[in-house]
Structure 1
């Protein structure tokens, strides 16, 4: 108790947080925690327990529902690590502890903990591996950080020994200065947001972000606000939305889910009350629409929420758009929001929910090409606790939240000829902290949903291998491979019957959706993620890494390499260039990427060839039908790229009357609409024939839109820039004429007109 009391007293004095590890038998630890409420002066309503049961008087939350605590603040948070030590959960619950509060971790004896399997290990043991194949490197590293970082006490509840008291004896903190309204940006007329809005800001950072958001009062503006979690970016956006609504603006708010934007609406409502602005809501507890001007008889403004897909259509023509947690919104949708009169993007960097710097990397180029003036703000000061809080410093290191790639200057000279390939053993990663940070930092940059769980996965999962290119010992390109397939006959049968199999994306898809009973028999490796340092892109490093991976795979026991991702023309071309061929294209958009997912294979053995050839044949048979139906809205450039990436061409043997239709189209003696089938077959043959390139991109888009996707003439003409439907028809005839020169004006087999 004395240790906990001392930690709590120091935390309250510094507005920092402290952590207490109770290691040993679970029942003894629970008993110790039960006495903390009175000793620390914490009310049960100010505390929470995360674990498998309900042993304390405070609120209890199961592991799977720990994210429900996000957005709340706790004076005392107890996380029972005995049943499940999940990195995502650890990050989520740590973020709820308020300044002056205490995080308590219940753990097995620290010496034994790394080797003890728990519920999280079961999620890493994907078939055909078992939980016994999962290692404990993440927990071992976690123990090291708990023993090394300041502000963390360790107590052995079995012996009563205090290994560390966790006290830091910090120096007094100087009081900070709050940004005033006079410090804020103003427009040409000298006007700015109300001073009460700045008085509502809790840090200088937040006030500076609000000043940046004032740019939204003007048209043609984009404001980007980035921060680590807990810095008040959503609150700043809420304050700005309230000020804009007070001025009569219609503010459309979007986020991956309403829960992400709830704080924005809460802060907006609070500020409207403080400004004495009358308003009404559709729901007082969880408003999705706030209208100002209530009871005044005057037209007011509005703050309303829509999902990203719906918001991208700009329903009811909003004046301003705010995209919260933008890193978790597909780039395709982010681009559409640049069509708004003015827009703000707020996003979390290295958040506990996995939103990384992918927003910056993938969206900045599009942003730079827009006509908007761009204002950027970065929030570094925490809202709920003091800067340099020891628990935050520890959690960032323990969960990989402080990971980053090497500085650009260090790797700027890297080329495919100067780098070295290395398969990185997880033990080497745990032993070389800088190497681990660079690897994970690159992965965070490349993918907007890289999570703390992924940090543990690359260290402990038995199916994952890490491959990298290094320039003078610094990582410039990295890829994660997941071993898939090799499934037992019984499991393959269950998957065919509809059962899902974790960690086997390609065998699962080919078996359950495409009805291939043998798809899970061969053994392959899927490229889960690949990332190249932004300073050395477009130099061929990604292709060099994939070549090394292919050599590694061919020397082993793998039958195929595969990949699945959101299809764009550039990505499909990249993977095709590296020997991968398309065998499947999803008919619905992926929720995360916003694109249609494509699956591609690179066979390495006879078994891999059989799998590839089988699905290539099936793909060629079904793709025209899906393009004319479920994929009729697919970007024609994506369709072109996917068709080109198929390693095969369909049979093309029209009957004699079909040849006459084809030959009559160029001079107008035949009409496409009366017999489209021969033109469709000719178009598909050409688009999948990688040996022929006789059309312009515009002509190929015409083939896709009209003959494969069966879009109306007027729509095709408008989209592709033809002056009329008639002009579009003539262009199709000219395109067919060019294809007949390639495929049709030679010796043809005699075939019956009716046979």
Structure 2
């Protein structure tokens, strides 16, 4: 095939794409040098490269990603997300690893009429080795707009894409505020109304990428800043990372014109807009007229709920089918929180694309290949606890759809079965997405191609059309899964991090457990219960099934790592898991520390778990003063109650006497504080249960003051106490009550 023939065909192909305002994929199946010989003959390639070299911002350019020596990359390997919000005329993807997250993210930058070149040598071999790629290329083959050109074939494809559609529609009609679509205009008005309307009526703005959502936020902010330039007016915007706001800031600069930028603050007269991180907003409760939370789906619902409790005029913006993470879990979970805290909240969804036509072929390919548009199925089944189930058996109405927990069916689903049944695959992935705010396209690739991964499900029955009630992804790690002595030595010397061995590697590197790789481990990577039937005990039932499976497979340790909050930690502790590690830094997306919890399943691992447990608590109090100083008091309470009395320093008769003296007002707090600290650690492990919310609140006050070593003012502010005198009275009352209840002598 000559370059001249290819150029002639390409000109017609791209003209057709431009007329239809769509983006397309061309797969060049052959060597990199052959692909280059075709691409470098194109005028658009030369123009794009000139734009790259001149750093032009007003003309198109070419993004090159991958590890090919023939196509030097201008997008860094792990910085592809930085390009979201920018625009390109052409993309060349020459990555031997086929990093699907990068593929999906970069596709969002391509303009209408643009071409995405995928350089793919040995497609046949890759399809045989990868279920994910087999499915990916099958999707390309059934979409007429995309094309595959093979080095082995002389002929060019006759097809130029679907030319029966209407010609290019100019949708650049400007509405007021410089909005491009009617939906965007409506969104701007809705954002502005949050400032002037009733309090506690947050707006939730959702859209797929390319719908003008971030621009709508910026346009509304510009209008508000202009309207309040002569008086004190504050807007705060937060996001998982400032890089997620590139489109927002670009549009804001365009809408405002001359602005003054000082660090993370933009001023317009007396009005100002400031970027502040989520954890700081929660910690400080800053006075603000409007708080915007962009890419809210990448922030845990637990943290969003804290924001809702602290601020009263808020807009939450989220990408629903995002290339960098899926947001349907956010939508489902956060809706419940909003219904409870702000029942008059407002929802607005942007449907119409701005940068390309509706049902754009490239967007559809990415959505279908990565299952970003997999819809959560509605359940026909109702799960009820066993006693209630027994009482309903005589009911003549819909008995077949009522299931007790003991009736659910546990299955392991092989990857080949999933890829052969696309309906089942979509349902499995849709349930998984609801449980995690950072689900990525590569999770699907992992699920289908990684031999260490198992997919397990709970079904409502054995029938083929049974409901999927819950899904878990399991990763087999450690002994027996390809780790060599050299690998362990490299990990020990910090020369290497092993993929697919998170649990033993964390125990080895962070917990100092040098025999970690001698144990067979099973990590629960994801576990999700269908939102319609949560809080029914199904998650705990699922864990028990997974444990039984692990025992059959000879697993020593089962474990999980997650962003820790009181709700999640309670779930895993109630399932019999114990903490092995809490991470020292917060996750940027969730604002939470990571937690690693484990459970020993074999005799040889139980002794090791006890050792890890003791090691964790040996340093926990010390780390609370610095590395763990931002842990919530509720989390600290849950963790302290997992300690054992054998690991605590014994209380002396003098310690008890000091505590009694303080409770009676005979001694000052400071002179008894160490004895109070020791006593409280023991008291939290007492067999007496906490019977009331009031008593629990009292214990939290003591934990914050005695164990977390927070100053009096901070404790009073956190728990609504009027001052130091009231704080001391609370501590005395609690101590005296527990001393008498528990019979301390």
**TM-score of the two chains, using structure 2 as the length reference:** 0.85
Q: Is this contact kept in 1: 2:33–2:70, CA < 8 A?
A: no
Q: Is this contact kept in 2: 1:7–1:167, CA < 8 A?
A: yes
Q: Is this contact kept in 1: 2:557–2:605, CA < 8 A?
A: yes
1:397 maps onto 2:341 in alignment: no
What is the CA-CA distance between 1:629 and the residue it aligns to? 5.0
Cα deviation, 1:24-71, whole Å, max 9, x if unaligned, reads: 222212211122336999775333332335746x98435434334332
What is the CA-CA distance between 1:707 and the residue it aligns to? 2.6
- Per the alignment, residue 478 of structure 1 pairs with 471
Residue among 433, 441, 444 paired with 1:444: 433
| 3-state SS, counterpart of residue 421 of structure 1 | strand
Cα distance in 2, alignment partners of residues 725 and 41 from structure 1: 70
Q: Is this contact kept in 1: 2:293–2:316, CA < 8 A?
A: yes
Cα distance in 2, alignment partners of residues 420 and 256 from structure 1: 38
What is the CA-CA distance between 1:708 and the residue it aligns to? 1.8
Residue among 280, 299, 303 paired with 1:329: 299
Cα deviation, 1:81-140, whole Å, max 9, x if unaligned, reads: 4x221111111222222111222211123322235xxxxxxxxxxxxxxxxxxx511111
In the alignment, structure 1 segments of 5+ residues that lack a partner are 116-134, 182-194, 274-278, 294-299, 747-755
Of 346-355 and 667-676, more deviation after overlay is shown by: 667-676
Q: Is this contact kept in 2: 1:665–1:733, CA < 8 A?
A: yes
Residue among 259, 272, 277 paired with 1:302: 272
**TM-score of the two chains, using structure 1 as the length reference:** 0.84
1:423 maps onto 2:412 in alignment: yes
Cα distance in 1, alignment partners of residues 731 and 642 from structure 2: 24
Cα distance in 1, alignment partners of residues 455 and 300 from structure 2: 26
Cα distance in 2, alignment partners of residues 681 and 516 from structure 1: 28
Cα distance in 1, alignment partners of residues 615 and 701 from structure 2: 25
- Listed as ranges, the matches of 1:482-501 within 5 Å are 482-486=475-479, 487-499=483-495, 500-501=497-498
- Per the alignment, residue 455 of structure 1 pairs with 444
What is the CA-CA distance between 1:564 and the residue it aligns to? 2.0
Q: Is this contact kept in 1: 2:82–2:243, CA < 8 A?
A: no
What is the CA-CA distance between 1:306 and the residue it aligns to? 3.2
- Per the alignment, residue 668 of structure 1 pairs with 665
| 3-state SS, counterpart of residue 78 of structure 1 | strand
Cα distance in 2, alignment partners of residues 303 and 674 from structure 1: 48
What is the CA-CA distance between 1:605 and the residue it aligns to? 0.3
1:52 maps onto 2:67 in alignment: yes
Cα distance in 1, alignment partners of residues 499 and 67 from structure 2: 23
What is the CA-CA distance between 1:633 and the residue it aligns to? 4.6
What is the CA-CA distance between 1:161 and the residue it aligns to? 3.7
Q: Is this contact kept in 2: 1:481–1:529, CA < 8 A?
A: yes
1:76 maps onto 2:90 in alignment: yes
- Per the alignment, residue 387 of structure 1 pairs with 358
- Per the alignment, residue 246 of structure 2 pairs with 262
Cα distance in 2, alignment partners of residues 683 and 266 from structure 1: 54
Cα distance in 2, alignment partners of residues 350 and 466 from structure 1: 23
In the alignment, structure 2 segments of 5+ residues that lack a partner are 1-5, 52-59, 384-400
| 3-state SS, counterpart of residue 10 of structure 2 | helix
Cα distance in 2, alignment partners of residues 666 and 348 from structure 1: 54
- Per the alignment, residue 260 of structure 2 pairs with 281
Cα distance in 1, alignment partners of residues 608 and 15 from structure 2: 65
- Per the alignment, residue 702 of structure 2 pairs with 703
Of 457-466 and 725-734, more deviation after overlay is shown by: 725-734
Cα distance in 2, alignment partners of residues 237 and 578 from structure 1: 43
Q: Is this contact kept in 2: 1:17–1:101, CA < 8 A?
A: yes
Cα distance in 1, alignment partners of residues 459 and 589 from structure 2: 30
What is the CA-CA distance between 1:348 and the residue it aligns to? 0.8
Cα distance in 1, alignment partners of residues 730 and 158 from structure 2: 79
- Per the alignment, residue 243 of structure 1 pairs with 223
What is the CA-CA distance between 1:372 and the residue it aligns to? 8.1
- Per the alignment, residue 192 of structure 1 pairs with none
Q: Is this contact kept in 2: 1:245–1:302, CA < 8 A?
A: yes
Cα deviation, 1:289-311, whole Å, max 9, x if unaligned, reads: 44334xxxxxx433333333345
What is the CA-CA distance between 1:419 and the residue it aligns to? 2.6
What is the CA-CA distance between 1:572 and the residue it aligns to? 2.0
Cα distance in 1, alignment partners of residues 275 and 220 from structure 2: 15
Cα distance in 2, alignment partners of residues 470 and 173 from structure 1: 47
Q: Is this contact kept in 2: 1:649–1:685, CA < 8 A?
A: no
What is the CA-CA distance between 1:722 and the residue it aligns to? 4.8
Q: Is this contact kept in 2: 1:353–1:451, CA < 8 A?
A: yes
Cα distance in 1, alignment partners of residues 381 and 144 from structure 2: 31
- Per the alignment, residue 634 of structure 1 pairs with 631
1:96 maps onto 2:109 in alignment: yes
Q: Is this contact kept in 2: 1:179–1:207, CA < 8 A?
A: no
Residue among 137, 145, 154 paired with 2:139: 145
- Listed as ranges, the matches of 1:568-579 within 5 Å are 568-579=565-576
Cα deviation, 1:276-323, whole Å, max 9, x if unaligned, reads: xxx32328xxx8544334xxxxxx433333333345567973322222
Cα distance in 2, alignment partners of residues 599 and 469 from structure 1: 24
Q: 1:382 to 1:652 in 2, by over 3 A?
A: same
Q: 1:536 to 1:692 in 2, by over 3 A?
A: closer
- Per the alignment, residue 10 of structure 1 pairs with 16
1:347 maps onto 2:327 in alignment: no
Q: 1:615 to 1:348 in 2, by over 3 A?
A: same
What is the CA-CA distance between 1:443 and the residue it aligns to? 1.9
- Listed as ranges, the matches of 1:357-368 within 5 Å are 357-368=328-339
| 3-state SS, counterpart of residue 681 of structure 2 | helix
| 3-state SS, counterpart of residue 287 of structure 2 | coil
Q: Is this contact kept in 2: 1:28–1:158, CA < 8 A?
A: no
Measured on the aligned residues, the alpha-carbon RMSD in Å equals 3.1
What is the CA-CA distance between 1:571 and the residue it aligns to? 1.8
- Per the alignment, residue 397 of structure 2 pairs with none
Cα distance in 1, alignment partners of residues 357 and 575 from structure 2: 49
Q: 1:721 to 1:169 in 2, by over 3 A?
A: closer
| 3-state SS, counterpart of residue 112 of structure 1 | helix
Cα distance in 2, alignment partners of residues 5 and 464 from structure 1: 45
Q: Is this contact kept in 2: 1:560–1:604, CA < 8 A?
A: yes
Q: Is this contact kept in 1: 2:253–2:259, CA < 8 A?
A: no
1:688 maps onto 2:685 in alignment: yes
Q: 1:214 to 1:178 in 2, by over 3 A?
A: farther
1:33 maps onto 2:32 in alignment: no
Residue among 605, 609, 613 paired with 1:612: 609
Q: 1:723 to 1:217 in 2, by over 3 A?
A: closer
- Per the alignment, residue 26 of structure 2 pairs with 20
Cα deviation, 1:661-705, whole Å, max 9, x if unaligned, reads: 233333233444213333322221232356755782123223312
Q: 1:556 to 1:477 in 2, by over 3 A?
A: same
What is the CA-CA distance between 1:559 and the residue it aligns to? 0.2
Of 504-513 and 37-46, more deviation after overlay is shown by: 37-46
